[in-house]
Structure 1
Amino acid sequence: MATAVETLEKLERRMTISLPLAEVRAEVEKQLKIRAKTARAPGFRTGKLPMKMVEQQFGYQVETSVLNDKVGRAFSDAATEHNLKVAGVPKIEPKENAEATDFVAFDATFEVYPEVKVGDLSTAEVEKSTSDVSEAEVDKTIDILRKQRVHYHVKGEQGAHGDGGSDLTAKETDRVTVDFVGKIDGVEFAGGKAEDYAFVLGEGRMLPEFEAATVGLKVGESKTFPLSFPEDYHGKDVAGKTAEFTITLKKLEWAHMPELDAEFAKSLGIEDGDIGKMRADIRANIEREVRNRLKAKNKDSVMDALIKVSELDVPKALVEDDIDRLMEMARQDMTQRGMNVKDMPIPRELFTSQAERRVRLGLILAEVVKENNLQATPEQVKAQVEDFAQSYEDPKEVLKFYFGDRRRLAEVEALVLEENVVNYVLGKAKVTDKQVAFDELMGNNQQQG
């Protein structure tokens, strides 16, 4: 049986669960007799151990199991009886200062789900971002795709694409191969020497002074120059110091970008090499990416607005559970990146704010969905999966991937549900349109240079 529910603080509750000792002992004895049938010990046949030995061997384990089972069921029954929506796992401990009676008592401390009050959405202010895709963005993307397929030829040597011009000195965009040696106070230092080292001028792979000294050299020429390492340079032994470098240019190659022709279009999967089809495909891909980024940006804006107009207490237990999930996700991500995180401590507080927001939003979204019947429909889920599939070579395999696994489909349903909430809020709130520059939306990933 359970006592009345006691309110401790906000969402925290406590109840005392009492179990008749006779009932517990009877169940323990029953379980021990079952164990006795298969129990083994040196000198005894299976199932022939004296009960006293069975009790010594399994008594504590069986008693703990019986108590856990009975307390768990009693708590569940009491929660149902009191119409409690329990958040997280209750903390159950033997009751302190319990009087010796025919009952064994436990205190169950737990949290309940909060009442969520979503305010007047017509007062919510949401900034809705929009962005356009012009031909300039298509051209810029094509240039990036061409740069990704750049290849190099030795300057001055005639080939299928020419000889790179009459200027045989190193300049920006050229790939140079050099020998170099650096000295500090006349002494070579670790990492300051290399042979046949290749890099592209202008990519920022080397320190600016090193690149500047290389520009203008011809093959076979050498140059000696001072180089000051920054104070925050990754090599601590040389950080903040000035070295004297000597470089020798051994090979000079010019960059040739593929022509914008049928062969280039075919390299991007356009079988007949039609440039117009290639541009249309690139535009479609850009527009899909822009649409997805705008959707994510506007979703964040809506979620911020929902938080502002909603009132609720957040269960600590749910936040702690979400911190555990975020930490595990972080560990998996670092492991996939090749990092050894087995013994690496990850502070929980790094994830507290994010977990609290996620839990808060989850509770708010659930309330908005319930109040306004915004559940994801099968048709919406199918349309979302088909949209995912468009960006893959074999859309049928993508459909099979999602519809063949209920958990993956549940993830899509969650996305659709969020989108339903976003659209609903945008239809109610004070919405201000904001034009976002393409490069800003894409995080400058599309900029040249």
Structure 2
Amino acid sequence: MQVSVEATSGLERRLTITVPAERIDSEVNKRLQETARKARIDGFRPGKVPMSVIKRRFGPSARQEVVGEVIQSTFFEAVQKESLNPAGMPSVEPKAVKDGEDFEYVATFEVYPEIALGDFSAISIEKPVAEVTEADVDEMLETLRGQNKSFTEEVERGAQEGDQLKLGFVGKIDGEVFEGGSAESTDLILGSGRMIPGFEEGLEGVKAGEERTIDVTFPENYQAEELAGKLAQFTCTVSKVIAPVLPELNDEFFAKFGVAEGGIDAFRDEVRKNMQRELDSAIKNSVKNQVMDGLRTLHQVEIPKALVANEVDTLRKQAVQQFGGGQNIDLSMLPAELFEEQAQKRVSLGLVVAEIVKSKELKADDARVRAMVEEMAAAYQEPQQVIDWYMKNEQQLQEVRSVVLEEQVVDTVLADAKVSEKACSYKEAIAPEAPASEEGADSDQ
């Protein structure tokens, strides 16, 4: 087998592979002989069909099968021989195949880029430093009470934010009732943001039995285009104003959260532990995101188009799942341009992370894998059952190993990076960050 390599542009390579005629003809003849032993053709006894007839009838298909298999096997032989690392499947252009002639084909594909790791000391990290205070726990208790409030207390006062109204309304535009703008009876919590801007604010102070007319304007980007930007008038009739009732901090309330004994002190301890886990996770994620952003900035990586295309498809599937799409949705209906930039970032970062794993010879630490499983299990009522399930489920365990390995990459970078600390409150530390980095790219080459 002869192989020649041509670097066409960037990461693209073109292999011209020539396979000796004997290799093709030998395999074709072998298959035709096997066919001759089994073939049933009218006018001939089984096993007695002349080879000339077998070749005429089955020769072309046998040669086509052999050529397909030879292309597959010789391509991988060739890339190993030339020490190439393909990023995706090749585009193959076979030349005409004739008996007794060498077979030649051209395979065009991209290779993974060679990445020279930069100096991690050029990366600056600002690590949040915060603690869970008693005031933070108090605020969380009130949040939990608010999440479990009930609406059972009718009031005669004017409605205020947080109250539930039972009301009916009729909406009109230019004096005409419009479709979808009316309801005979519905529940509405003031301040929920369920209605268009101005509607809920217009009902503040209303009392049970009162009728009130509100003028509001539909947003310019409203989903119903025929209503977007239009001025509407809603006549609302309120039958009830119901104030929220917060539950007492008692044993019944604590039991809802799995705290069966120990009263308020045990409940506060449990809440504090959960808050501390959330805080630790938020700080870890903040540092990790900064590390990943730093790595992407530090390394300008040439990206194989095939990997980006695969990542675009992955993001398309995730988008469909996120919005509740079914299996029969044509993913190509979502333009690739919507995901191109995000896919490029993910692939670029994945390649850099993979190079760190390779060059630093990192492997997932078993002790850290076990510790992560135990940490995840701690949030469940039966932690040991969760731990046992993970340890016996190789697929789930492999996902944990991947996360641990990524953490070890972060630790490797932090060992050389410039790390400073920034004091902040619990609420500041756990506040969602603006999306800056895209992890999750496949780091396997």
The residue aligned with 2:20 is 20
The residue aligned with 1:159 is none
The residue aligned with 2:412 is 424
Whole-Å Cα distance in 2 between the matches of residues 259 and 20 of structure 1? 86
Counterparts in 2 of 1:202-241, with a 5 A limit?
202-207=191-196, 209-241=198-230
SS in 2 for 1:281: helix
Q: Compute the displacement of 1:8 (Å).
A: 2.1
The residue aligned with 2:4 is 4
The residue aligned with 1:94 is 94
Whole-Å Cα distance in 2 between the matches of residues 283 and 42 of structure 1? 85
Contact 1:16 1:95 in 2 (8 A): no
Which stretch of structure 1 is more off in the superposition, 392-401 or 293-302?
392-401
Contact 1:233 1:239 in 2 (8 A): yes
Task: Encode CA deviations 1:42-89: one digit per residue, 9 max, x unaligned.
Answer: 999998988788778765554333112212222222222233333322
The residue aligned with 1:258 is 247
Whole-Å Cα distance in 2 between the matches of residues 300 and 313 of structure 1? 22
Q: Compute the displacement of 1:258 (Å).
A: 0.3
The residue aligned with 1:371 is 359
Does residue 1:85 correspond to 2:85, yes or no?
A: yes
Whole-Å Cα distance in 1 between the matches of residues 357 and 331 of structure 2? 42
The residue aligned with 1:187 is 176
1:9 partner amino acid: S
SS in 1 for 2:373: helix
Counterparts in 2 of 1:30-179, with a 5 A limit?
30-35=30-35, 61-95=61-95, 102-155=101-154, 167-179=156-168
Contact 2:129 2:423 in 1 (8 A): yes
Task: Choose the corresponding residue for 2:297, options 287, 308, 328.
Answer: 308
Normalised to the residue count of structure 2, the TM-score between the two structures is 0.85
2:15 partner amino acid: M
The residue aligned with 1:160 is none
Question: Measured at CA, do residues 300 and 41 of structure 1 come closer, stay the same or move farther in structure 2, by a change above 3 Å?
Answer: farther
The residue aligned with 2:423 is 435
Question: Measured at CA, do residues 56 and 425 of structure 1 come closer, stay the same or move farther in structure 2, by a change above 3 Å?
Answer: same
Q: Compute the displacement of 1:272 (Å).
A: 1.5
Q: Compute the displacement of 1:213 (Å).
A: 4.2
Contact 1:114 1:312 in 2 (8 A): yes
Q: Compute the displacement of 1:341 (Å).
A: 2.8
SS in 2 for 1:128: strand
Does residue 1:341 correspond to 2:329, yes or no?
A: yes
The residue aligned with 1:354 is 342
Contact 1:155 1:168 in 2 (8 A): no
Contact 2:162 2:189 in 1 (8 A): yes
The residue aligned with 1:243 is 232
Task: Encode CA deviations 1:173-208: one digit per residue, 9 max, x unaligned.
Answer: 221111222233332221222112111122222345
SS in 2 for 1:362: helix
Q: Compute the displacement of 1:434 (Å).
A: 2.8
Contact 1:8 1:14 in 2 (8 A): yes
Question: Measured at CA, do residues 329 and 444 of structure 1 come closer, stay the same or move farther in structure 2, by a change above 3 Å?
Answer: closer
Cα RMSD for the two superposed structures: 3.3
Question: Measured at CA, do residues 7 and 340 of structure 1 come closer, stay the same or move farther in structure 2, by a change above 3 Å?
Answer: closer
Which stretch of structure 1 is more off in the superposition, 351-360 or 195-204?
351-360
Whole-Å Cα distance in 2 between the matches of residues 101 and 234 of structure 1? 68
Whole-Å Cα distance in 1 between the matches of residues 242 and 50 of structure 2? 88
2:147 partner amino acid: Q
1:117 partner amino acid: A
Whole-Å Cα distance in 1 between the matches of residues 48 and 206 of structure 2? 93
Whole-Å Cα distance in 2 between the matches of residues 396 and 44 of structure 1? 71
Task: Encode CA deviations 1:305-351: one digit per residue, 9 max, x unaligned.
Answer: 223334653333333333333333333444x4669733661122333
Percent identity between matched residues is 39
Question: Measured at CA, do residues 22 and 149 of structure 1 come closer, stay the same or move farther in structure 2, by a change above 3 Å?
Answer: same
The residue aligned with 1:400 is 388
2:400 partner amino acid: V
Whole-Å Cα distance in 1 between the matches of residues 137 and 46 of structure 2? 78
SS in 1 for 2:160: coil
Q: Compute the displacement of 1:250 (Å).
A: 1.6
Contact 2:86 2:109 in 1 (8 A): yes
Whole-Å Cα distance in 1 between the matches of residues 145 and 285 of structure 2? 29
Whole-Å Cα distance in 2 between the matches of residues 267 and 350 of structure 1? 43
1:205 partner amino acid: R
1:81 partner amino acid: K
Contact 1:196 1:250 in 2 (8 A): no
1:315 partner amino acid: P
Whole-Å Cα distance in 2 between the matches of residues 182 and 30 of structure 1? 82
Question: Measured at CA, do residues 16 and 265 of structure 1 come closer, stay the same or move farther in structure 2, by a change above 3 Å?
Answer: same
Contact 2:92 2:107 in 1 (8 A): yes
Whole-Å Cα distance in 2 between the matches of residues 290 and 46 of structure 1? 78
The residue aligned with 2:442 is none
Q: Compute the displacement of 1:149 (Å).
A: 1.0
1:69 partner amino acid: E
Which stretch of structure 1 is more off in the superposition, 280-289 or 219-228?
219-228
SS in 1 for 2:279: helix
The runs of 5 or more residues in structure 1 that have no matched partner are 157-166
Which stretch of structure 1 is more off in the superposition, 304-313 or 249-258?
304-313
Whole-Å Cα distance in 2 between the matches of residues 351 and 53 of structure 1? 56
SS in 2 for 1:3: strand
